[in-house]
Amino acid sequence: MLMASQTLSCAEHTLPVTVKIHQTTVQVERAQWLRAAILGASDGLLSTTSLMLGVGAVDVDRWSMILSGVAGAVAGACSMAVGEFVSVSTQKDIEMVALTHCSALKADPSQAMSVISEEGRTTKNNGVQVENNNIRDSLPNPHKAAAASALAFLCGSLIPLASTFFVAKNTARIVIITIVTSIALAVFGGVAAHVGGSPVRISAVRVLVGGWLAMAVTFSLLKPFQRDEHGT
């Protein structure tokens, strides 16, 4: 009776800790997904904006600029999806191999660690199996990761496309897309920093300055190839 009471007491103390650990793990996973989505959207925003600014520096035609942004958004989303799928698939394979090795070690312990009863051994093996199943369920899904990455990139690309769609004058399009993208970059950088637990202001400024640099380099390198309204 005393042993049963002690076992019950341990179980009562272990259950809240297990629940708390599970809740913390879920929160961390959600934060990682949210941060990855924000970074993907920021990538789509900056890539599409830089591409449109580069085309706008060369050609004054509105549709050339918009179509270049659409092409960049589609190509970038596909590239992000493929890259994320390959990366997450490789990560999952590595974790599965490591899990298999850990399972083999737990199933065949050393002689020094195996002085337990047959009933205890069975209980331990069942616990290891349950733990392994939980770990397998928590492994990243390559298909979900690829879809989320592509969708985030497309969402970020919509910002520069929407901001210049109804602007006829080329100079006004360049100014508007630069201002809108700068604001969005600062917001994305701040939100990503808040989710990741880093300083918001420093991260927002860092992302904003990096975006300005990327846009300036793209625009400056293509500006010498500018054509006038007559195509010369």
Residue 146 has pLDDT above 70, yes or no: yes
User: Could you tell me which residue, 31 or 74, shows the higher pLDDT?
Assistant: 74
Share of the chain above pLDDT 90, in %: 39
What is the pLDDT at residue 130?
44
Check residue 202 and give its pLDDT: 92
Three-state DSSP string of the chain: CHHHHHHHHHHHHHHHHHHHHHHHHHHHHHHHHHHHHHHHHHHHHHHHHHHHHHHHHHCCCHHHHHHHHHHHHHHHHHHHHHHHHHHHHHHHHHHHHHHHHHHHHHHCCCHHHCCCCHHHHHHHHHHHHHHHHHHHHHCCCHHHHHHHHHHHHHHHHHHHHHHHCCCCCHHHHHHHHHHHHHHHHHHHHHHHHHHHCCCHHHHHHHHHHHHHHHHHHHHHHHHHHCCCCCCC
Q: Which residue has the higher pLDDT, 231 or 217?
A: 217
pLDDT average, residue stretch 148-155: 92
**Share of residues in the chain with pLDDT > 70 (%):** 66
* 30 vs 88 pLDDT, higher one: 88
| pTM, 2 dp | 0.71
